[in-house]
Amino acid sequence: MWAWLDQVADWVNHEYVWQPDRFIPSCWPAHPHIAHELAVIADLRRTAGYAFSGDALEEWHRYALPAFLDRVSSRMGTCCGPAKHDDWPAAGRHREFRSERAIGNRSELFNRDTAPDVDQVEPGPPAQTRPPLVLLNGSTIDTTTGEVLQDPYGA
């Protein structure tokens, strides 16, 4: 699989990439987000090649490939280039995300959000009921829903 994906990356770079900022870097296997998406883009192209019309190839050229190259460019930025590989710039933030402190903080927020509301006012004596709103034809109005109820006497 790796050898095939490496050939796909080389083919995409040679045939479709003109600007160097959209180039799939030579260290792509060290970037899981590229490796995963490269497999998808390769399979989409392979499948499009077997289609009975050019529609799938048009979709691949118009949408799939440009979107893939845009994601590679935006995710990689300038961190990797020719003969240069930078480790994952977000590694520190990922370690912090998985830290016990961060997990505890998120758990506290989750629990607070799902806990019953203890600040609710205890029910007191029942509120006095108002006389019903009655229309000229004798129908009443449900003051909770605004629904017009039929005249209880059938008028």
Q: Give pLDDT tens digits for 124-151.
A: 666 667 777 777 777 888 777 778 887 6
What is the per-residue pLDDT for 89?
72
Do the Cβ atoms of 143 and 133 come closer than 8 Å?
Answer: yes
Cα–Cα distance measured from residue 115 to residue 139, given in angstroms and rounded to the nearest whole number: 43
**Residue predicted with more confidence, 134 or 14:** 14
> pTM score, two decimals?
0.58
Q: Give pLDDT tens digits for 18-64.
A: 888 888 888 888 888 899 999 999 999 999 999 999 999 999 999 99
Whether the per-residue pLDDT at 155 is higher than 60: the answer is no
Do the Cβ atoms of 12 and 65 come closer than 8 Å?
Answer: yes
**Would the CA dihedral through 66, 76, 23, 18 be positive or negative?**
positive
Cα–Cα distance measured from residue 62 to residue 64, given in angstroms and rounded to the nearest whole number: 7
